[in-house]
């Protein structure tokens, strides 16, 4: 195997360990000598792999301090409608949720209007803290219509890996599209405490209305994400008709 192929293999192995928080105790890579012994490769191979990690923004080398791991942001594709559970699962990231509230309530007026409900129609209100790699990274406040014989229970969410979208799918509710707004805001003291945020740190606020295949609104959800853990990506195309 060539040195080029070998250093790429070491790069992948180190990146996988970084993503899985294997170095979280020290927040830095082992020394080049330790990595050389661990992987059984030459020092130049280790150095090339580390240099590529630095070029890609995963680590920074400091003289006298070692190779420090950079905070990694979770990237979300805004063109794709998916659940939090599946978004993290497909990326191989350990994630789970902590149930804060499950209630049957009369929704706020803006939610009632968005879901096309009558004044006496109740919704399921589900509030959960989203966690990734053992860190609290977001809060979801979901309002689910009780129309179409949708039945949800508190016990459905005691499993920290439960997925709302999977529960709806089992009840033959097929989600098809969504309209979403995103903005940067300062968190309320309530959200700040839930996420254990330092003061004066802005967050991403996402507001989504999700429709089924019949274009009927099913879910209104407010999402609050740490701005230091998330970034969003979207692909733009030139309008060739102009």
Q: pLDDT per residue over 47-87, tens digit each?
A: 999 999 888 778 888 778 889 887 655 555 556 666 676 66
pLDDT interval class at 200 (50, 70, 90): confident
Q: What average pLDDT does the structure give for the chain?
A: 86
Distance CA 186, CA 199 (A): 9
Interacting residues of 161 by C-beta distance below 8 A, sequence separation 6+: 85, 96, 97
pLDDT interval class at 230 (50, 70, 90): low
Strand partners, 99: 128
Three-class SS of 21-80? CCCCCCCECCCHHHHHHHHCCCHHHHHHHHHHHHHCCCEEEECCCEEEECCCCEEEECCC
Nearest 5°: the CA angle 127, 129, 130 is 125
Distance CA 167, CA 147 (A): 15
Give the global pTM.
0.68
Give the 3-state secondary structure percentages of the chain, helix then strand then coil, rounded to 5.
30, 35, 40
Distance CA 207, CA 154 (A): 23
pLDDT at 226: 87
Name the 3-class secondary structure at 152. coil
Name the 3-class secondary structure at 178. strand
Distance CA 77, CA 229 (A): 15
pLDDT at 1: 44
Strand partners, 226: 203
Distance CA 123, CA 112 (A): 9
Q: pLDDT per residue over 157-181, tens digit each?
A: 999 999 999 999 999 999 999 999 9
Residue that wins the pLDDT comparison between 134 and 83: 134
């Amino acid at each position: 195997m060539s040195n080029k192929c070998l250093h790429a293999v070491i790069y992948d192995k180190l990146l996988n360990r970084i993503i899985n928080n294997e170095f979280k105790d020290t927040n830095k890579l082992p020394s080049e000598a330790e990595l050389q012994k661990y992987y059984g490769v030459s020092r130049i191979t280790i150095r090339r792999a580390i240099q590529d990690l630095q070029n890609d923004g995963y680590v920074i080398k400091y003289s006298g301090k070692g190779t420090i791991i950079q905070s990694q942001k979770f990237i979300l594709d805004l063109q794709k409608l998916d659940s939090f559970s599946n978004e993290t699962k497909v990326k191989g990231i350990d994630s789970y949720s902590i149930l804060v509230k499950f209630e049957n309530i009369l929704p706020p007026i803006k939610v009632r209007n968005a879901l096309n409900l009558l004044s006496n129609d109740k919704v399921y209100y589900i509030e959960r803290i989203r966690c990734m790699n053992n860190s609290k990274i977001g809060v979801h406040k979901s309002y689910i219509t009780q129309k179409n014989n949708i039945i949800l229970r508190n016990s459905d969410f005691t499993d920290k890996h439960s997925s709302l979208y999977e529960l709806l799918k089992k009840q033959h509710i097929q989600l098809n599209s969504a309209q979403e707004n995103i903005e940067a805001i300062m968190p309320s003291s309530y959200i700040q405490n839930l996420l254990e945020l330092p003061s004066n740190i802005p967050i991403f606020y996402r507001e989504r209305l999700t429709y089924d295949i019949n274009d009927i609104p099913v879910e209104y959800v407010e999402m609050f994400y740490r701005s230091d853990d998330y970034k969003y990506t979207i692909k733009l195309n030139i309008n060739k008709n102009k």
